[in-house]
Structure 1
Amino acid sequence: MLRLTWVQPEDLIGHELRQLALEGYDVSSARTRWLAAGGHPAPERAGASAELTDPALRGLALRLLDELASAQHGTPRVPVRDTAAPAPLPDPAHLHRLHAAWLGRAVGCLLGKPVEKLPLEGIRRLAQAAGNWPLNTWFTERGVPADVLRSYPWNRRSAPTSLAENIDGMPEDDDLNYPLLGLLLLQRHGKAFTTTDVAKLWLDELPAGRTFTAERVAYRNLLDGIEPPHTARHRNPFREWIGALIRADIHGWTNPGNPHAAAAQARRDAELSHTGNGVHGAEFIAAVIAEAATGADVHRAIEAGLGVVPQDTQLHHAITHARRLAAATADFDTVVDELHRTHAGHHWVHVIPNTAAITAALTHADGDFTHSVTRAVSAGWDTDSNGATAGSVAGLIAGHADRLPARWTDPLRNHLSTTVAGFDGIGFDTLAQLTDREARRP
């Protein structure tokens, strides 16, 4: 039985009810109708419920999705070509920073892959059982009791390639595929690309099976003839999840010293699949990275990121809270526990808790590479995405690939696997050169 994840109407409706409640809408009537008819809340961690749904119940889910959409106020903003003051050309050291950033993104992603989807307690139990807590190196199965492994199994797809005993190069992951697609986007259209250019690139180069959550829904909407930016909202309850944020690095990497230009690019990319806080998360990370790419310390970079996020948004409040909490609390586990209490109502892939986790990890690590990636992953939620973003920022701050500990970078073997055409097997040094070239284009 094929149960395609992230698109079944009977699963989307539960996520939509949750998302609208987070946005402040009263969904009690729709929720009552759905549950009274035999509907279920959305799966907590899986992408699809396990059982087939009665056709009548699926029809109700579709009707409710459309009713809830029509009840919302406002319409998506039409993408425009943003203009920003040009920044000076990158200095010669930018190539070395980019090399460290690509490596850092891969390291953080790979560290988080085996524990993706696990609850916080499971991540801690697995690492503690291996004598690796506070987290300081790759996860391993060696020494972990069988009962712990039964209670908290590794991510099924990632474990064969992402534990200490089997890492051999960087395996494929969407957290690396999207920067590659972003690089292709800039090579083909330059920094003045439109959201429609992003859509065409996805249809040309991104297999649908390599998309998830908001990106998969937006992809489906494109195939149904829906134009951007409506692709981001139509039956898309994942529009404020983390997907746009993980696409933002390339926009920061190619705009060093110009956080507003980086944020503008990230917004045009994000609006294909996201709205609201989902877009702001991409803008925030792009601006953080653009500032870090100048050699700025991590705290100044986060300040620059905050400068592009509207102050009255949930995301701005979450970032500010996480930053203050991490700066005032010595024990990082205490920070994480408080963040999980604060954001208990959000799905584990939502942009709010994950951006808070990234911010807290970077703040607490104070620029140290190992502490940045290990804290981001040990905070839980979307572990591989958070580790990837923290690693990218920390790599820029380190400034050179040689300043990253060899125990992290050697297992990558300067080799990235991907299904993005033309990039499979590429080295991170080559990726840095290609990215530096786009950073220097007008």
Structure 2
Amino acid sequence: MIPKQYVETVYAGFIGMNIGIRLGAPIEPVAWTYERIRDVYGDIRDYVKPYKTFAADDDANGPVFFIRALYDDATDRELEPEDVGKAWLNYAREGIGMFWWGGEDISTEHRAYVNLRKGISAPRSGSIEVNGTEMAEQIGGQIFIDSWGLLFPGRAEKAADYAEKAASVSHDGNGLYGARFMAACIAKAFDASSMDEIIAEGLRMIPDDSTYARVVHAVMDFHREHPSDFRACRQYLEDHWGYDKYTGVCHIIPNAGVCVLALLYGEGDFARTVEIASMCGWDTDCNAGNVGSILGVYGGLAGIPDHYRKPINDFIVASSVSGYLNLVDFPTFAKELALLGYRLNGEKAPQELVQRVKQGEVYFDFDLPGSTHGFRTSNPFKTPVVRHSNQRGCDGRGSLEVVFDRLVEGDSSKIYYKPFYRRAEFNDEKYKPTFAPLAYSGQTVSARIYVDQWEGAPVTLTPYVRNTYTQEDQILQAVTPVGGEWNDIQFVIPDTEGAMIDEIGWILKSPSPLLNRAIGSLFIGQFRVTGSAEYKIDFAKQAKEFASITPFSHHRGKWELRDGALHCIAEGDTSSYSGNYYAGDTVVEATIKPISGTSHCLITRAQGVMRHYLAGFDGPNSVSFIKQDFGTKRLITARYDWELGEEYRLKLVSEKDRFILYINGDNVLECKETAYAHGMFGFGCLEDGENEIKDVHVRTSGQKSV
């Protein structure tokens, strides 16, 4: 039975996982050994690096995207390994992002992906028979499974079964036992009263005679004899279960030992558990992430210290083919995951939860304890406190409180959300994330705002968006919220003339004099970005960042900016994606100049690399409307005389189940098709070739309800 605080506990587990990943990531091997971590950082009690924005990590990508098999294939039946294998192919860009592309003879994930592309489906794609024991038993079997544990609260066996199916895409043997063990521990943490109980449930899901079970028992036995010295236990692991005995790249067995060590010596304390997991070395982010999930669920939000939670700010970036889905808001993800949990456990989700999940739009209600939804301020001196509050709940829920301190005329601070990210926001290039904005010109930004002002002249709020190309603010009409009551405030996002928007919010000011400075609190009770969008993409205002051209995610091929155009050299099936993943009716226009090859298409309703429609030039003197569904099918083909080296204006209209392709204003083909009701737009080629794309214009009329 789904527990009462299910959404909140899922939220805590997801936060816990990401804290562990962020804590352990800077001290991964091979550069950082156990001894170096000990000698440089000593007794870790906080993050060891102050990231601007923490870049994508494979440990988070897997839990976010592999569960999409439940949206795409296993919608009304049991999950199968092949479903998760399809998610791999559909959401990963070949050779970049998602997981470690360390070489197909080195990295298990790389090998599994290549197997899948060759037609070796799961679970054979990850089997010992195909890949050998050394590769099949790398750590990935247990690091991508956190969401499966969160989906089955108190149902360890079911969590273990689903985790095994998912892990079998890339792993086998002890790799599968690790998946079962960790998922079971997370599921059991929902109702467990001790770490011993959690570990015992994990053990119950794997064979007693497995190497995985033996290392767990060995750590438990050592802890029983030496309950206060985790470093002695770490040395024991090094001596008896170390990397020298379990070869390959990052074997699961030594790291399983570290996870159990951290769970036992952490004694149920969230912070100490993730700290110990990090201090023990080996695969630090993976191990700290796994135990962070378990302890997040076990201790709940109350058990997570603020100094670990605050820098996370409810947000991570991921690294899939969908730049839209790569912007992960924790409360939103937790609610979406909880809805899946209700479905999988055969229970009806509360209507209140159903109504608070609005896929395809930005919808923040600050109802989860401590939630901030990634909001920021620009002037910490004048807005020194930004925190979740229950003091002024909106519609019976929480709010975001921003304390403003002694504003006078000339002072200001932005209160804003970032719907798009640039390379400058990050410290490194890890896993090459890409982004498609969550907000576009023409959409409406609305919020419920309450001002509790203690002194000074009334504050004003000036809506603005920031143009990421010019890095200048586009200012709209200021408003003065009425103090002491909830104000409904809204504005329409202005045209940014082909550039993207990377901040939306308000500039807080007050005309107060020095003798009566403005001080008080502003509360945001709800924040939304909704409605139809209309925008252009001017490639003269874009940049190549994270190996992609903003705001696109590229799959295969070579993509460059050249003379204000997007230049593509296709290598077989090559594609590029942007826009709202949940966009319904869409019109996309672009000027395309085919340079070589006979395949040059627009893409619409894209739900991934392997699920979308293409329309455009398809062979000499012909155009086609094509369905990609793990294989291409031409739905309609018509004659159209086109030539290499010429520019053509292509316009693809997607309206409900009707699709029309226009070229230079002429209707050249129409098709009716119902498979994909929503998705991204983009560009694609089905064979080798070269083209240039410019003057992109996109119109959407809202999101498809999914």
**TM-score, normalization: structure 2?**
0.45
Q: Does 1:194 align with 2:194?
A: no
Contact 1:169-1:414 at 8 Å conserved across structures: no
Partner of 2:263: 362
Matches of 1:230 and 1:248 in 2, distance apart?
19
Aligned partner (choices 220, 232, 241) of residue 334 of structure 1: 232
Partner of 1:349: 250
- Letter paired with 2:64: L
Contact 2:149-2:187 at 8 Å conserved across structures: yes
Partner of 2:59: 175
Report the Cα offset of residue 169 of structure 1: 4.0
Contact 1:361-1:376 at 8 Å conserved across structures: yes
Matches of 2:195 and 2:71 in 1, distance apart?
29
Report the Cα offset of residue 337 of structure 1: 0.9
- Aligned pairs (5 A) from 1:9-408: 88=1, 90-117=2-29, 118-127=32-41, 133-139=42-48, 163-164=49-50, 167-188=51-72, 189-190=74-75, 192-208=78-94, 209-210=96-97, 211-212=99-100, 213-232=107-126, 233=128, 234-236=130-132, 237-329=134-226, 330-344=228-242, 345-347=245-247, 349-400=250-301, 402-408=302-308
Matches of 1:182 and 1:363 in 2, distance apart?
29
Matches of 2:225 and 2:334 in 1, distance apart?
36
Matches of 1:430 and 1:334 in 2, distance apart?
42
CA change 1:364–1:279 in 2 (3 A) is: same
Contact 2:192-2:198 at 8 Å conserved across structures: no
Report the Cα offset of residue 248 of structure 1: 1.5
1:261-297 C-alpha deviation (Å, 9 max, x unpaired) = 1111011111111111010000000111110022543
- Letter paired with 2:91: E
Report the Cα offset of residue 438 of structure 1: 1.0
Please say which of residues 306-315 and 421-430 is displaced more in the overlay. 421-430
Please say which of residues 231-240 and 381-390 is displaced more in the overlay. 231-240
Report the Cα offset of residue 207 of structure 1: 2.2
Partner of 1:433: 335
Matches of 1:368 and 1:99 in 2, distance apart?
18
Secondary structure of the corresponding residue to residue 336 of structure 1: helix
Matches of 1:230 and 1:259 in 2, distance apart?
25
Matches of 2:8 and 2:120 in 1, distance apart?
41
Report the Cα offset of residue 335 of structure 1: 1.1
Contact 2:24-2:284 at 8 Å conserved across structures: yes
Secondary structure of the corresponding residue to residue 274 of structure 1: coil
RCO (CA 8 Å, sep 6+): is it higher in 1 or 2? 1
Contact 2:108-2:136 at 8 Å conserved across structures: yes
Aligned partner (choices 411, 421, 438) of residue 311 of structure 2: 411
CA change 1:295–1:98 in 2 (3 A) is: farther
- Letter paired with 1:435: L
- Letter paired with 1:193: L
Secondary structure of the corresponding residue to residue 411 of structure 1: coil
Contact 1:168-1:413 at 8 Å conserved across structures: no
Contact 2:153-2:187 at 8 Å conserved across structures: yes
Secondary structure of the corresponding residue to residue 426 of structure 1: strand
Report the Cα offset of residue 173 of structure 1: 0.3
Please say which of residues 273-282 and 236-245 is displaced more in the overlay. 236-245
Contact 1:110-1:384 at 8 Å conserved across structures: yes
- Letter paired with 1:409: R
Matches of 2:54 and 2:198 in 1, distance apart?
27
Whichever structure has more strand as a proportion of its residues is 2
Q: 5+ unaligned residues in a row in structure 1: which ranges?
A: 1-87, 128-132, 140-162
- Letter paired with 2:332: T
CA change 1:307–1:417 in 2 (3 A) is: same
Secondary structure of the corresponding residue to residue 416 of structure 1: strand
Q: 5+ unaligned residues in a row in structure 2: which ranges?
A: 101-106, 347-706
Q: Is the radius of gyration larger for structure 1 or structure 2? A: 2
Secondary structure of the corresponding residue to residue 268 of structure 2: coil
Secondary structure of the corresponding residue to residue 152 of structure 2: coil
1:77-118 C-alpha deviation (Å, 9 max, x unpaired) = xxxxxxxxxxx2x12211111111111101100111111112
- Letter paired with 2:58: D
Matches of 2:22 and 2:211 in 1, distance apart?
29
Matches of 2:52 and 2:217 in 1, distance apart?
38
1:29-61 C-alpha deviation (Å, 9 max, x unpaired) = xxxxxxxxxxxxxxxxxxxxxxxxxxxxxxxxx
Secondary structure of the corresponding residue to residue 317 of structure 2: coil
Contact 1:349-1:382 at 8 Å conserved across structures: yes
CA change 1:431–1:169 in 2 (3 A) is: farther
Report the Cα offset of residue 181 of structure 1: 1.2
Contact 1:418-1:424 at 8 Å conserved across structures: yes
- Letter paired with 1:201: A
**TM-score, normalization: structure 1?**
0.70
Please say which of residues 341-350 and 407-416 is displaced more in the overlay. 341-350
Secondary structure of the corresponding residue to residue 238 of structure 1: helix
- Letter paired with 1:113: A
Contact 1:175-1:246 at 8 Å conserved across structures: yes
Matches of 2:184 and 2:176 in 1, distance apart?
13
Secondary structure of the corresponding residue to residue 209 of structure 2: coil
- Letter paired with 1:231: S
Matches of 2:199 and 2:256 in 1, distance apart?
11
CA change 1:326–1:185 in 2 (3 A) is: farther
User: Which segments of structure 1 move beyond 3 Å, counting only runs of 4 or more?
Assistant: none
Cα RMSD of the aligned pairs, angstroms, is 1.6
Contact 1:106-1:170 at 8 Å conserved across structures: no
Contact 1:169-1:413 at 8 Å conserved across structures: no
Report the Cα offset of residue 318 of structure 1: 0.4
Matches of 2:70 and 2:193 in 1, distance apart?
25
1:331-387 C-alpha deviation (Å, 9 max, x unpaired) = 111111111111131246111111110011001111101111001111111000001
Report the Cα offset of residue 230 of structure 1: 2.2
Secondary structure of the corresponding residue to residue 327 of structure 2: coil
